Amino acid sequence: MRIFMDTANIDEIRRGAALGVVDGVTTNPTLVAKEGVQYRDRIMEICEVVDGPISAECISTEYDALVEEARRVAAWHPNVVVKIPMGEVGLQAIKTVSAEGIRVNTTLVFSANQALLAAKAGAAFVSPFVGRLNDAGHDGMEVIREIVAVFDTFNLPTQVLAASIRNPRDVTEAALAGSHVATLPPAVLFSMIQHPLTDKGIEIFLNDAKKYTPV
Ligand code: E4P
């Protein structure tokens, strides 16, 4: 499973990239607004740090404007993947720009039916929001499993990108469900490294290593 970082914070992205296990980055208007930077500037900075798909979200709500925005955003950098929200206009725009070779990440996906439509429109990724589904009383991971099963059944090339991940267990569950990608808030990524038994084991080994002459 590929691991993306779900943040627009450049310091966290640099720290994550240094681990050597980050394959891409997803952003959204809320994440960029938190940073107090211009969207394009931040996406260009991220592209310098991570060599992989970098999702940048479109905000137009009319078909013509959305298609024009998607083309403009996609031209920022070859690694940019255009995020388009699920919906009637969104699907039409996904169909148009995907046919032009622009990679689309369909965002705000909450059901297998929405994912199927996005895949049929040609989206490169669909982003089911696991945490927000759970918050609303649904089973977010079950939606991931359903989408993976549908895409597998019909050999659809669209990748499932588990989004709105809230804790390390979600990552394990997404991997077990066969999600192609999970996008993680920095805190979740860094907490995956930790285990109390690892810390304890290191402490014991370092103490025992004092009992002999190092090579
Ligand atoms: C996905 O690409 C979104 O940016 C993100 O995962 C949303 O997560 P949230 O529900 O924690 O805001």
Separation of alpha carbons 156 and 150, rounded Å: 8
Q: Which of 83, 200, 210, 211 is catalytic?
A: 83
The residues, any chain, with a CB within 8 Å of residue 104's CB and separated by 6 or more, are 70, 81, 82, 83, 84, 94, 97, 98, 118, 122, 123, 124, 125
- Global pTM reads 0.96
Test site for ligand 1: of 80, 126, 164, most ligand atoms within 8 A of the Cβ: 164
- Ligand 1, atom 1, lies closest to the CA of 163
Confidence of residue 214 (pLDDT cuts 50, 70, 90): confident
How many angstroms is it from 163 CA to the middle of ligand 1? Answer: 6
Q: What percent of the chain has pLDDT over 90?
A: 99
Torsion angle (degrees, nearest 10) of CA 30, 34, 36, 38: -30
The predicted-structure confidence for 17-31, as pLDDT tens digits, reads as follows 999 999 999 999 999
The minimum-distance atom of ligand 1 relative to the CA of 166 is 11
Phi, psi of 8 (to 5 degrees): -115, 10
Residue 7 near ligand 1, beta carbon < 6 Å: no
Query: Which residue type does 137 have?
Result: G
pLDDT at 163: 98
The predicted-structure confidence for 5-18, as pLDDT tens digits, reads as follows 999 999 999 999 99
Half-sphere CA count of 158, side-chain side, radius 13 A? 31
The minimum-distance atom of ligand 1 relative to the CA of 26 is 2
Residue 163 near ligand 1, beta carbon < 6 Å: yes
- 8 A C-beta contact, residue 147 and residue 117: no
The predicted-structure confidence for 68-84, as pLDDT tens digits, reads as follows 999 999 999 999 999 99
Separation of alpha carbons 48 and 179, rounded Å: 27
pLDDT at 152: 98
Residue 161 near ligand 1, beta carbon < 6 Å: no
Residue 106 near ligand 1, beta carbon < 6 Å: no
**What's the whole-number mean pLDDT along residues 89-97?**
98
Q: Select from 191, 175, 184, 188 the least CA-distant residue to 6.
A: 184
The predicted-structure confidence for 110-133, as pLDDT tens digits, reads as follows 999 999 999 999 999 999 999 999
pLDDT at 215: 76
Instruction: Please provide the average confidence, as pLDDT, over all residues in the chain.
Output: 98
- Ligand 1, atom 12, lies closest to the CA of 164
CATH number, domain 2-209, options 3.20.20.70, 3.40.50.10310, 2.70.50.60, 3.30.420.40: 3.20.20.70
Phi, psi of 210 (to 5 degrees): -70, -15
Separation of alpha carbons 179 and 101, rounded Å: 23
Q: Select from 151, 125, 139 the least CA-distant residue to 54.
A: 125
Residue 127 near ligand 1, beta carbon < 6 Å: yes
Check if 83 is active-site: yes
